[in-house]
Amino acid sequence: MPTGERLHASTPAANSSTTGYEDEAWVWAQIKAEARRDAESEPALASYLYSTILSHSSLERSLSFHLGNKLCSSTLLSTLLYDLFLNAFTSDPSLRSAAVADLRAARERDPACVSYAHCLLNYKGFLACQAHRVAHLLWQQSRRPLALALHSRIADVFAVDIHPAARIGKGILFDHATGVVVGETAVIGNNVSILHHVTLGGTGKVGGDRHPKIGDGVLIGAGATILGNIKIGEGAKIGAGSVVLIDVPPRTTAVGNPARLVGGKEKPSKLEDVPGESMDHTSFISEWSDYII
Amino acid sequence: MPTGERLHASTPAANSSTTGYEDEAWVWAQIKAEARRDAESEPALASYLYSTILSHSSLERSLSFHLGNKLCSSTLLSTLLYDLFLNAFTSDPSLRSAAVADLRAARERDPACVSYAHCLLNYKGFLACQAHRVAHLLWQQSRRPLALALHSRIADVFAVDIHPAARIGKGILFDHATGVVVGETAVIGNNVSILHHVTLGGTGKVGGDRHPKIGDGVLIGAGATILGNIKIGEGAKIGAGSVVLIDVPPRTTAVGNPARLVGGKEKPSKLEDVPGESMDHTSFISEWSDYII
Amino acid sequence: MPTGERLHASTPAANSSTTGYEDEAWVWAQIKAEARRDAESEPALASYLYSTILSHSSLERSLSFHLGNKLCSSTLLSTLLYDLFLNAFTSDPSLRSAAVADLRAARERDPACVSYAHCLLNYKGFLACQAHRVAHLLWQQSRRPLALALHSRIADVFAVDIHPAARIGKGILFDHATGVVVGETAVIGNNVSILHHVTLGGTGKVGGDRHPKIGDGVLIGAGATILGNIKIGEGAKIGAGSVVLIDVPPRTTAVGNPARLVGGKEKPSKLEDVPGESMDHTSFISEWSDYII
Amino acid sequence: MPTGERLHASTPAANSSTTGYEDEAWVWAQIKAEARRDAESEPALASYLYSTILSHSSLERSLSFHLGNKLCSSTLLSTLLYDLFLNAFTSDPSLRSAAVADLRAARERDPACVSYAHCLLNYKGFLACQAHRVAHLLWQQSRRPLALALHSRIADVFAVDIHPAARIGKGILFDHATGVVVGETAVIGNNVSILHHVTLGGTGKVGGDRHPKIGDGVLIGAGATILGNIKIGEGAKIGAGSVVLIDVPPRTTAVGNPARLVGGKEKPSKLEDVPGESMDHTSFISEWSDYII
Amino acid sequence: MPTGERLHASTPAANSSTTGYEDEAWVWAQIKAEARRDAESEPALASYLYSTILSHSSLERSLSFHLGNKLCSSTLLSTLLYDLFLNAFTSDPSLRSAAVADLRAARERDPACVSYAHCLLNYKGFLACQAHRVAHLLWQQSRRPLALALHSRIADVFAVDIHPAARIGKGILFDHATGVVVGETAVIGNNVSILHHVTLGGTGKVGGDRHPKIGDGVLIGAGATILGNIKIGEGAKIGAGSVVLIDVPPRTTAVGNPARLVGGKEKPSKLEDVPGESMDHTSFISEWSDYII
Amino acid sequence: MPTGERLHASTPAANSSTTGYEDEAWVWAQIKAEARRDAESEPALASYLYSTILSHSSLERSLSFHLGNKLCSSTLLSTLLYDLFLNAFTSDPSLRSAAVADLRAARERDPACVSYAHCLLNYKGFLACQAHRVAHLLWQQSRRPLALALHSRIADVFAVDIHPAARIGKGILFDHATGVVVGETAVIGNNVSILHHVTLGGTGKVGGDRHPKIGDGVLIGAGATILGNIKIGEGAKIGAGSVVLIDVPPRTTAVGNPARLVGGKEKPSKLEDVPGESMDHTSFISEWSDYII
């Protein structure tokens, strides 16, 4: 994986046989090293870096501290939230491995992401997603009022509104993230990249399964609106600003309002890479323009 | 009203001859019962539920407390805002009946809304709307700098930007709500449902009446942009992601960028239900697809 | 400039030969007078107005105080941020003259802007932009971790996400501002007006120059998405909700998803005024409608 | 009353036939005028003066705001305390007249008290005493856990520890106040002045009436310790640092550790003025020295 | 022990063979029951009681939460302190058994202590002592800067200044507690009662063992000052306001400034009960008076 | 100066010909080195040490930050106080040299003071004294309402109550400090050491010069009460718990309640060292005991 190599000489391959724990330890060591370097070069930020990262003995403690202090309010105290997050991250290793996969996703796919610590501290999409995972765990444990209170705090603080019942895979990049809305019965696969202002919404006032299902490796461009219990196939790409109301087959591109498949409904062009990883939003421009005009 | 019945056995009909006060008392009793049940099942949330709901003797006190603590900042203290809200809600019964109608709207139209307490505590659209009503009252009382300061806090905290001069009816559901923008001379009727990222915007730099007028029972889908002093007729439906620059007749559907009427300009399809209440965003898909392709 | 005259009898022309310092002094005097008038008419707001404006001896102190208290968190204290802002605004006069130009832009272009003080205190677009300018200065000084931490606070608090490396001119109006995203290599000229939910985004996961370049005097409507290293020529206008993936020539209008030029690619209609200043979002409606249908 | 005249030309006599309400209105008008004058002369303090005094329509609102914000904590919110104080001060006029009498006491007896506003804002003894009166009211209403929680906050914030059951008269000056301890069954009469570090303590671990009873007009010097259910007669004076374990007759002076009467047990010197009002701590020096040596 | 029986029918004897763990469980169950009763009778306090007690699963969690939120500051966050306290109380059972013994001491010796919950929540002496025990643990672990920072917060918040190196036994009652000062090399035995303003101080500027050693069962009255490396024998009593510069033999009473033994240096009166438990401050009055005059 | 040498090998003599600026630079360098060492050994405290010391470029910035954050309240924001302190410390070098002298005093006289950083961060007496010096400066500049507001915050936060008009020299040690009260017309010389609970009080309700004057090098023991416009001569010593109502000649010791001179009024024992520096509270015990009994 050339990008990985470019970024750091000795990264263990994310999909190698190393255990999740080793991977977590390696990423945490990187984060500490990055924070230490930043603290040394910028004393004005050192206090922040020590309180959020360098004073902690593990990624889950750092993350629990940071989320607790970001999401607290005068009626939901930071100590309560810290406790809640720490219990969740400590007891459920899959939350930790998902966080690590998300950190890797940001680092590898977003050229503006300069370090793992940068993502951990500053990416509202990353933070909202980790907090959502804890809200989802609470939801599964039938602690729904607490899950919904947490949901509300995430929506207020990050302007990211993911229903606690929504199921989200690993290796997710919510880039910029402001305005993302994900409904109750939505499902998002692994290695998906979702830009800001994206809606995975329902329709109607009747309950039940009513939100989109997003396959592995999908890329959803900024401002796309996907409505109803439809399926976006694996490796598909949804253009920025599209309004999608129908299924999109795997490895195809849908664009426009309403969205149509690039290459036509009958024989759409097939993508060769994984758009959720390549983050190529615009290579279909010529095709699209041709198609439209 | 089947949904209502499904939700609770003995709800008094919202439009019956019961007085607003009885309706308010009934909803408040529900909220207290819901909060009590949640507090018992989830001790970690009990403190939050007592401070926001269970310690209060009335809906207006609970709401004033909650808004005061949500919207306060280091330069606008919670006690000042609490006082402001409490005075408004106590002195103006129409603010309270509007809040009750909005709670009912969320409960009946949004299947993800599990209780009145859930909406009261966690729906940023509901909270932003109630705070807007108070800002609007201040605006009407010529207390404009205070109205604008409150407007600013709502925009910061909830990412919902409703100009204090905008007039809004009752039974409004701002679903998800992040990114909603409503301009100074906009008017919104009763029983309207508006999704997130919706803009009711103006145009040009000259003042005067320059924003949309939304009729009763309208449904506006996510990300729709409606610009200028145009009229969206009662019971109309605006598709997600539409850009609407022209009047939309009553009980018709406009979709697309720029928006066109489903069924054609001359003889548009007429809707049979009230979209603001049925929340059906997508039943026009087949029609639309046919129309477009 | 009739608008200016209408607003205040004796405003010195913004583009006259008066020095920036005189202009700054004049605007600051206006702000103080406005705040004093508001404090007298509204005692409930007087504390806020004194702490934010009336207790300060200069615009940079007022702005530094206000930003410090808006953007602080439990891990980034207001005193640290205040210091940071004050040092930047004091040492770099261009930051102050840009702030003054932005205040004028809001006052002259937005009919809902009732005073300079209104903009200074309440416009999240104005505040986010000034804070960005400081983050950009830090970025240029190679204090990148601090610049990114500030970037993150701006994105959390205002839901405005401008990468600290992005270069932004003077006389900018970010109207409503919620959801604006501006990428790392984007450039925005002078006297540009940008509505909410606008994205100046990149594409792909490779670094380098990958974001739009916006010329002087451009107007970008609500929800427009502009992607890639493309050029929006000076005085161009981008319609609300447009998705722009190709260069737009100077003084032309692009609308739709995907965006096309009004009047056609070969011979697009030329605009006569400066749309970034006239703020006319919709005068092209008839043309557009004709074009489309 | 020459002092009063010196301080302000037109003060109505505190003991005249004017009603308490008129007296309260007069003092409140003074406080507003003082605060207005200070706000004008010191812009840096104006925000504080507006939020605490000038934005309020009555003394009870100002006092409730100030106490609510002083005594709040992360687990007892300012809005809750504000409500509690405002309800108490509004419903019980005797609390307000006691506050007015205490303001007058500080103003007339303490030469370092430069204005009523100074006392209202800055005297921890005054503030602790008013908060105690509310805690006492709660105690009498059998709301004991709340009374004790308030007691605890007063003890933490002001280092003044007055049991909520203790009964305290009007016209009380707790000068400096730090370290004052007043036990559960203590009683303090009217027009008493008590310096800092004074203890009115009990003894033993058995309940019942076990604390001192302090008559009207008594002066208790700094650091005096008075223990047990003993009686300090009206107009008596207790020297600084005294340890008093026995009754002190009216209008006599007790000094020393253990305390003895000046002039001897059999025929103590009688005081001619009211020491609680004259605040003369040391005129007995010569007598005492003579007595001792 | 009649008092104990009076207070609760079925208390296990504190010194019985029950393990510390059972004792802790019993006290914690009492505290929860008391808090539940109070929450039911006083909704305004329920939020406070849930956040501090009822939401927690153990005494150490409740205490860690309460101390973390009481002692935090803008530069020492509550989450950091909570973590610190929780680690200490969880890892060191002697800290928990000492807390339980102190709760019992307050409940049994102070007639104003109405419940264990009352002491846990509101007694600054109790809270300062528990926080000191954690600071002492840190001191012993050579984490001295952290111990001293905690020391400073305790001194600021509770006005109780106990050097982290000071060694303190179990069953301690710091009654009222404001102004207590305990020096670096002081030692306090078990079952000691110390009133407010008591100093166990050193002398000189040379280090080394220079503070008092207080035996088991000692009672030290309010405002007593004990200076130097002297020994207060077990079961001794120090009168309020005394200044003690010399050893006091076991079971004797020292009073006055400078302190002398009641009954005379050669053959002092012997006490029959344990003054630290009986809390009898004043039964020696007649003797003392006789002695002095 | 042997003590200095013992503490650190290369300290420049405090009274040497080095300028105050060099002395300040030396002490600040020590503080930074100490804080750096502590931050390295204790990551949990590093955030605190960076925010208070290590992120600052000078002692006055560090002190202003620390005081601003300690003394702020919801109505007096930290940014306002920070500004106030920083302006004072920057503009008046005597405030800085006094702070340095006080740091030296604590370090040299108090064996429990382990470092300059320890004193700067944790000594409430040191912090209260520096804040007082700023309040005193404001008082002299006729900014009295602001001076009194600051006075009030110091009294609340540190339980140290020094009237802003009181004049205080350099090289002052307020040891433990809780409960210290210093009146309006009090004067304290250089190199004075004052323990906790000490009162320099006035008497009567008439204004004018009415508080004690304390000479250079005086030591005042814990709990001493000194009342009236009397003179404590240079190098005198006041025993703990004394009540002093008469002048005390230079280099003599006064003890007891009421205080008498050790050695007798006519020919008191003369002290050979400077008690304010030697901190010897108790060497006169034998003399005193002899004198009394």
For residue B78, what is the nearest residue in chain F, using CA coordinates?
Answer: F74
Q: Determine the 3-state secondary structure of D53 from DSSP.
A: helix
Q: Which of A161, A196, A212 is the last residue of a domain?
A: A161
Look up residue D258 and give its two tokens.
């253990």
* Residues F148 and F164: beta-carbon distance below 8 Å: yes
Please indicate, yes or no, if residue C171 is contained in any of the structural domains: no
Please indicate, yes or no, if residue D47 is contained in any of the structural domains: yes
Q: How much is the CA Rg of chain D, to the nearest whole Å?
A: 19
Q: What is the CATH number of the domain that holds C122?
A: 1.10.3130.10
State mean pLDDT over A223-236: 97
pLDDT confidence bin for F269, thresholds 50/70/90: confident
Q: Which of B159-163, F71-75, F216-220, F277-281 has the lowest mean pLDDT?
A: F277-281
| Per-residue three-class SS string for D158-219 | HCCEECCCCEECCCCEECCCCCCEECCCCEECCCCEECCCCEEECCCCCCCCCCCEECCCCE
Q: Print burial letters for A109-143: b (CB count within 10 Å at least 16), e (below 16).
A: bbbbbbbbbbbbbbbbbbbbbbbbbbbbbbbeeeb
What is the predicted pLDDT for the residue at D284? 61
* Residues F203 and F227: beta-carbon distance below 8 Å: yes
Q: In this complex, which of F43, F44, F47 lies closest to A47 when CB atoms are compared?
A: F47
B120 with B11, same domain: the answer is: yes
What is the predicted pLDDT for the residue at D263? 86
D73 with D193, same domain: the answer is: no
Q: Which of C96-105, D26-35, D203-212, F37-46 has the lowest mean pLDDT?
A: D203-212
* Residues A253 and A235: beta-carbon distance below 8 Å: no
Look up residue C112 and give its two tokens.
């809902």
pLDDT digits (tens, 9 = 90+) for E25-46: 999 999 999 999 999 999 999 9
pLDDT digits (tens, 9 = 90+) for C68-94: 999 999 999 999 999 999 999 999 999
Q: Chain E 171-210, CB below 8 Å of chain F: which residues?
A: 178-179, 181, 183-184, 197, 199, 201-208, 210
For residue F46, what is the nearest residue in chain A, using CA coordinates?
Answer: A50
Taking the C-alpha atoms of residue A163 and residue A168, their distance in angstroms, rounded to an integer, is 11
Which candidate in C36, C45, C47 is best for mutational testing of the D interface (most D CBs within 10 A)? C47
What is the predicted pLDDT for the residue at D206? 79
Q: Do E159 and F159 touch (CB under 8 A)?
A: yes
pLDDT confidence bin for A11, thresholds 50/70/90: very low
B127 with B8, same domain: the answer is: yes
* Nearest chain B Cα distance for residue D105, angstroms: 29
Question: What are the angstrom distances between the C-alpha of B70 and each of A156, B63, B66, E79?
Answer: 9, 10, 6, 21
The average confidence (pLDDT) of chain B is 90
The average confidence (pLDDT) of chain F is 90
State mean pLDDT over E217-235: 97
Which candidate in D78, D79, D84 is best for mutational testing of the B interface (most B CBs within 10 A)? D79
Q: Which among A132, C148, A63 has a CA at the least distance from the CA of E79?
A: A63
Q: Do F82 and C80 touch (CB under 8 A)?
A: no
Cβ-Cβ contacts under 8 Å, F70 against chain C: none
Q: Chain C 15-44, CB below 8 Å of chain D: which residues?
A: 39, 43-44
Of all residues in chain B, the percent with pLDDT exceeding 70 is: 90
**Which residues make beta-bridge pairs with D182?**
D162, D200
What is the predicted pLDDT for the residue at D285? 56
A209 with A125, same domain: the answer is: no
pLDDT confidence bin for B265, thresholds 50/70/90: confident
Question: What are the angstrom distances between the C-alpha of A153 and each of B110, C161, D195, F74?
Answer: 19, 19, 48, 23
Domain count, chain B: 2
**Strand extents, DSSP E, chain A:** 161-162, 167-168, 173-174, 181-182, 187-188, 193-194, 199-201, 213-214, 219-220, 225-227, 231-232, 237-238, 243-244, 253-255, 260-261
| Contact E142/C at CB under 8 A | no
Taking the C-alpha atoms of residue E253 and residue D245, their distance in angstroms, rounded to an integer, is 16
For residue B52, what is the nearest residue in chain A, using CA coordinates?
Answer: A75
Please indicate, yes or no, if residue C128 is contained in any of the structural domains: yes
For residue C47, what is the nearest residue in chain D, using CA coordinates?
Answer: D47
What is the predicted pLDDT for the residue at E203? 79
D198 with D152, same domain: the answer is: no
Q: Which among E272, E271, E222, E269 has a CA at the least distance from the CA of E242?
A: E222
Sign of the alpha-carbon torsion through F266, F272, F276, F279 = negative
Q: Which of A51-55, D56-60, E4-8 has the lowest mean pLDDT?
A: E4-8
Q: Do F77 and B77 touch (CB under 8 A)?
A: no
pTM for the whole structure: 0.93
List, in order, residues 6 or more apart from E237 with CB less than 8 Å away: E218, E219, E220, E221, E252, E253, E254, E271, E275, E280, E284
Cβ-Cβ contacts under 8 Å, F69 against chain C: 77, 79
pLDDT of B9 higher than 60: no
pLDDT of B143 higher than 80: yes
Taking the C-alpha atoms of residue E236 and residue E233, their distance in angstroms, rounded to an integer, is 6
Q: What are phi and psi of B163, to 5 degrees?
A: -65, 140
| Contact E285/D at CB under 8 A | yes
Q: Do D43 and C50 touch (CB under 8 A)?
A: yes
* Nearest chain D Cα distance for residue A74, angstroms: 7
Q: In this complex, which of F43, F44, F50 lies closest to A43 when CB atoms are compared?
A: F50
| Contact B281/A at CB under 8 A | yes
pLDDT digits (tens, 9 = 90+) for A194-212: 999 999 999 877 789 999 9
Of all residues in chain F, the percent with pLDDT exceeding 70 is: 90
Q: Do B179 and A161 touch (CB under 8 A)?
A: no
How many other β-carbons are positioned within 10 Å of the β-carbon of residue C217?
25
pLDDT digits (tens, 9 = 90+) for B209-252: 999 999 999 999 999 999 999 999 999 999 999 999 999 999 99
Question: What are the angstrom distances between the C-alpha of B157 and each of A9, A82, A174, B89, E11?
Answer: 42, 22, 21, 21, 51
Please indicate, yes or no, if residue C25 is contained in any of the structural domains: yes
Cβ-Cβ contacts under 8 Å, E75 against chain C: 77
pLDDT confidence bin for D287, thresholds 50/70/90: low
pLDDT of A91 higher than 90: yes
pLDDT of F288 higher than 70: no
Q: Do E146 and F121 touch (CB under 8 A)?
A: no
Q: Do D178 and F183 touch (CB under 8 A)?
A: no
Span between the terminal Cα atoms of chain A, in Å = 38
What is the predicted pLDDT for the residue at B203? 80
E156 with E184, same domain: the answer is: no
Cis peptide before C249 (omega within 30 of 0): no
Please indicate, yes or no, if residue B172 is contained in any of the structural domains: no
pLDDT of E186 higher than 70: yes
Taking the C-alpha atoms of residue F285 and residue E140, their distance in angstroms, rounded to an integer, is 34
What is the predicted pLDDT for the residue at C286? 53
C154 with C287, same domain: the answer is: no
Instruction: Mark residue F199 as left, alpha or beta (left: phi above 0; alpha: psi -120 to 50; beta: remaining).
Output: beta
Q: In this complex, which of A55, A75, A79 lies closest to E78 when CB atoms are compared?
A: A79
Q: Which of F128, F160, F192 is the last residue of a domain?
A: F160
What is the predicted pLDDT for the residue at F264? 82
Cβ-Cβ contacts under 8 Å, B51 against chain E: 47
Q: In this complex, which of C122, C239, C280 lies closest to B152 when CB atoms are compared?
A: C122
Which candidate in B148, B151, B266, B291 is best for mutational testing of the C interface (most C CBs within 10 A)? B148
* Nearest chain F Cα distance for residue D214, angstroms: 20
pLDDT digits (tens, 9 = 90+) for B24-52: 999 999 999 999 999 999 999 999 999 99
In this structure, what DSSP letter does residue F245 have? -
Q: Which of E160, E188, E219 is the last residue of a domain?
A: E160
**Residues D110/D112/D117/D122 CA torsion (nearest 10 deg):** -100
Q: In this complex, which of E47, E51, E54 lies closest to B55 when CB atoms are compared?
A: E47
Which candidate in A73, A74, A78 is best for mutational testing of the D interface (most D CBs within 10 A)? A74
pLDDT digits (tens, 9 = 90+) for A159-199: 999 999 999 999 999 999 999 999 999 999 999 999 999 99
Cβ-Cβ contacts under 8 Å, B75 against chain F: 77
pLDDT confidence bin for D204, thresholds 50/70/90: confident
pLDDT digits (tens, 9 = 90+) for D130-174: 999 999 999 999 999 999 999 999 999 999 999 999 999 999 999
The average confidence (pLDDT) of chain E is 90
Q: What is the CATH number of the domain that holds F255?
A: 2.160.10.10
Residue E12 structural domain = 1-160
Cβ-Cβ contacts under 8 Å, B82 against chain D: 79, 82-83
Cβ-Cβ contacts under 8 Å, D71 against chain B: none
pLDDT confidence bin for F267, thresholds 50/70/90: confident
* Residues B180 and C178: beta-carbon distance below 8 Å: no
| Per-residue three-class SS string for chain C | CHHHHHHCCCCCCCCCCCCHHHHHHHHHHHHHHHHHHHHHHCHHHHHHHHHHHHCCCCHHHHHHHHHHHHHCCCCCCHHHHHHHHHHHHHHCHHHHHHHHHHHHHHHHHCCCCCCHHHHHHHCHHHHHHHHHHHHHHHHHCCCHHHHHHHHHHHHHHHCCEECCCCEECCCCEECCCCCCEECCCCEECCCCEECCCCEEECCCCCCCCCCCEECCCCEECCCCEEECCCEECCCCEECCCCEECCCECCCCEEECCCCEECCCCCCCCCCCCCHHHHCCCCCCHHHHHHHHC
Q: Which of A16-30, D162-176, E233-247 has the lowest mean pLDDT?
A: A16-30
Q: In this complex, which of D43, D44, D51 lies closest to C47 when CB atoms are compared?
A: D51
Q: Which of A33-37, A274-278, D23-27, F230-234 has the lowest mean pLDDT?
A: A274-278
Cβ-Cβ contacts under 8 Å, A161 against chain B: 176, 178, 196
Taking the C-alpha atoms of residue C110 and residue B202, their distance in angstroms, rounded to an integer, is 10
* Nearest chain B Cα distance for residue C280, angstroms: 4
Q: What is the ipTM of this complex?
A: 0.91
Please indicate, yes or no, if residue A166 is contained in any of the structural domains: no
Question: What are the angstrom distances between the C-alpha of C292 and each of A69, B258, D10?
Answer: 51, 8, 81
* Nearest chain F Cα distance for residue C56, angstroms: 10
pLDDT of E68 higher than 90: yes
Q: Which of E65-79, E127-141, F275-289 has the lowest mean pLDDT?
A: F275-289
Higher pLDDT, B18 or D89: D89
In this structure, what DSSP letter does residue E161 have? E
What is the predicted pLDDT for the residue at D286? 52
State mean pLDDT over F65-83: 97
What is the predicted pLDDT for the residue at D19? 63
Q: Chain C 54-113, CB below 8 Å of chain A: which residues?
A: 73-76, 80, 84
Longest Cα–Cα distance of chain D, Å, equals: 60
**Which residues make beta-bridge pairs with C173?**
C193
* Nearest chain D Cα distance for residue E29, angstroms: 18
CB pairs under 8 A between C and E: 5
Taking the C-alpha atoms of residue A197 and residue D191, their distance in angstroms, rounded to an integer, is 67
D197 with D244, same domain: the answer is: yes
B45 with B111, same domain: the answer is: yes
- Regions of chain C with pLDDT less than 70: 1-19, 283-293
Please indicate, yes or no, if residue E171 is contained in any of the structural domains: no
* Nearest chain B Cα distance for residue D260, angstroms: 51
What is the predicted pLDDT for the residue at B4? 31
F102 with F185, same domain: the answer is: no
D148 with D185, same domain: the answer is: no
Q: Do D55 and C44 touch (CB under 8 A)?
A: yes
Q: How many CA atoms lie within 13 A of F190 on its CB side?
A: 7
Higher pLDDT, C215 or A292: C215
Higher pLDDT, E280 or A226: A226
Please indicate, yes or no, if residue B167 is contained in any of the structural domains: no
Q: Do B55 and D82 touch (CB under 8 A)?
A: no
For residue C68, what is the nearest residue in chain F, using CA coordinates?
Answer: F79
**Which residues make beta-bridge pairs with F220?**
F194, F238
For residue D207, what is the nearest residue in chain E, using CA coordinates?
Answer: E111
F196 with F145, same domain: the answer is: no
Taking the C-alpha atoms of residue D92 and residue F25, their distance in angstroms, rounded to an integer, is 59
Cβ-Cβ contacts under 8 Å, D108 against chain F: 205
